[in-house]
Amino acid sequence: MAGLAARIAAFAHGLRWEDLSPARRRKARWFLADFIGCTLAGSTLAEAASGYVLASPGAVKVPGDSRGLSPESAAIAMGTCGALLQIHDGFGGGGNHPSSAIVSALWASRGQRPMTDLLLPAAIGYEVACRIAKCAHPAQTLAGAAPTSTTGAIGSAAAVGRLLGLNQGTLANAISIAAFSVPVAAMRGLTEHGSVVPIHGGLAARTAMEAVRLAQAGLAAGENVLEGGKDAGLLQLLKGDASALVPEQWHGEMLDGVYFKPMPACRHAQPAVEAVLDLLRAGALDHRRILGVRVLTYPVSIMFGKPPRPEHELYDRLMSTPWAVASCLVHGGYGFDNVLAPARDPRIEALYPKIAFEAVPEYEKEYPRRFLTRVEVTLEDGSLRAGDCRMEYGMPSEDGPYSPRGTTTPPLDEAGMRAKFLDLACRRIPRSEAQVILDEIFETEAVT
């Protein structure tokens, strides 16, 4: 049998737009639109400068920025800016964020092509990345590797290779080279809220683009780099199951499990925020009267249970469940206003010592299909307020909604996705320009 990279290349080379169901084609359009919106909003933040530290000049422009960058630099910049707000899409079955690598690599490789030319390659890249992520989830995360970068590099290589029209053999080499050189981002960096972490999707995109260039030059990494043989391949390193990958049977099913985020926060902080929003439905409470906050949740969520460092850098806040919970309690809700408010807030910081986390065995059994969390707030008068979240994070759906069910925040439908995009995009560009982007992505049929 041919090596796994060659079999994935056959899938990527052969899939047609009409092979995807109408619902999946619609979703592929949102993959592109949503991340462009995330990038535009991210470009307004001071932290966007981190995406340009490695930049070199060229002809590619990232949404929201006028400078010309080399393709590889543009991929890193877009991947970083689009991830800054932690509101970009994710895959429920694999714990990865496909867009930051795949959409960034495609945008940087786009040239003069219309945006609709990116849709089928994006769907292909998402399918490949999410298949690999699923076969290693949650073992890869628990072993200490962030799946966005590892799977993103491989999916992006398949996507860019298809966009550029590589023949099947060259595409197979690009995929195997990406597997050989994949960047392994340590989960520890995420749990320590390192400010460099938003760059790792862009680094995966750059790796993919370099893999394609190397393959185009006639270089190869080997036929079995992914699955291994007598010795271990990449999938063994990632704790994945190679036997679960059967590209001959792929038709875009993984697209069903990709969700869009309704709020700017780590996906493991969102359940606690949703539980706070649930308890606030009974009425506002005075944060000054809070005696203690008990967060009952699943163990992986507790990995993000540290308060931010004193500087309260953006990523540090968005990846911190204590900050998200305290901010929601202080402001009486959660959204962009929380993120844009002053980073240091004595009212929020005063709540950190009062927040305690506890792992619940029943919740652990439900992970990763459901992210279950209960928040109990004890007030000075001895009264207890409680709220629950039963977010169906790992439950795929072909027809929607676009965000996970089981939340207090209404799941995103078509109107919600459009409103989210316009809210994000119009933080940088006029509404008329934002509408032009949507019109191009949604009103023209993709080139097959």
Percentage of the chain beyond pLDDT 70 is: 99
Question: Token match 């009103």: residue?
Answer: 443
SS3 (DSSP) at 107: helix
Q: What is the pLDDT of residue 28?
A: 98
State how far the Cα of 134 lies from the Cα of 111, in Å rounded to an integer.
Answer: 32
State how far the Cα of 178 lies from the Cα of 111, in Å rounded to an integer.
Answer: 22
Residue 1 has pLDDT above 80, yes or no: no
Instruction: State the angle between helix axes of 147-163 and 4-14 in degrees (0 to 180), rounded to the nearest 10.
Output: 50
What residue type is assigned to position 271 of the chain? P
SS3 (DSSP) at 254: helix
pLDDT tens-digit map of 340-386: 999 999 999 999 999 999 999 999 999 988 999 999 999 999 999 99
pLDDT (average), residues 46-60? 97
Residue 447 has pLDDT above 60, yes or no: no
Name the nearest CA neighbour of 100 among 200, 212, 213.
200
Name the nearest CA neighbour of 34 among 94, 73, 93, 85.
85
Residue 417 has pLDDT above 60, yes or no: yes
Q: What is the mean pLDDT of the chain?
A: 96
Name the nearest CA neighbour of 149 among 214, 74, 203.
203
Name the nearest CA neighbour of 219 among 166, 165, 170.
170
For the four alpha carbons of 397, 402, 405 and 411, in that order, the dihedral sign comes to: negative
Q: What is the pLDDT of residue 446?
A: 45
167 CB contacts (<8 Å, ≥6 apart)? 13
3-state secondary structure 109-140: HCCCCCHHHHHHHHHHHHHHHHHHHHHCCCHH
SS3 (DSSP) at 438: helix
Q: What is the pLDDT of residue 448?
A: 46
Q: What is the pLDDT of residue 399?
A: 82
pLDDT tens-digit map of 266-275: 999 999 999 9
Residue 60 has pLDDT above 90, yes or no: yes
Model pTM above 0.85: yes
Percentage of the chain beyond pLDDT 90 is: 95
Residue 263 tokens read as 């709020």
Name the nearest CA neighbour of 101 among 119, 84, 122.
122
State how far the Cα of 241 lies from the Cα of 74, in Å rounded to an integer.
Answer: 33
Quick check: 146 and 185 in contact, CB under 8 A?
A: yes
pLDDT tens-digit map of 3-44: 999 999 999 999 999 999 999 999 999 999 999 999 999 999
Residue 140 tokens read as 């890869």
Question: Rg for the chain (alpha carbons), in Å?
Answer: 21
Q: Which residues of 211-232 are buried (b: 16+ CB within 10 A; e: fewer)?
A: bbbbbeeeebbbbbbbbbeeee
pLDDT band at 398 (very low <50, low <70, confident <90, very high): confident
Residue 159 tokens read as 């996507």
Name the nearest CA neighbour of 322 among 332, 335, 309.
309
Render 148-188 in DSSP notation, one character per residue.
Answer: HHHHHHHHHHHHHHHHTT--HHHHHHHHHHHHHH----BHH
Structural domains of the chain, ranges and CATH numbers in brackets: 4-260+412-443 (1.10.4100.10), 270-391 (3.30.1330.120)
State how far the Cα of 30 lies from the Cα of 26, in Å rounded to an integer.
Answer: 7
Q: What is the pLDDT of residue 445?
A: 52
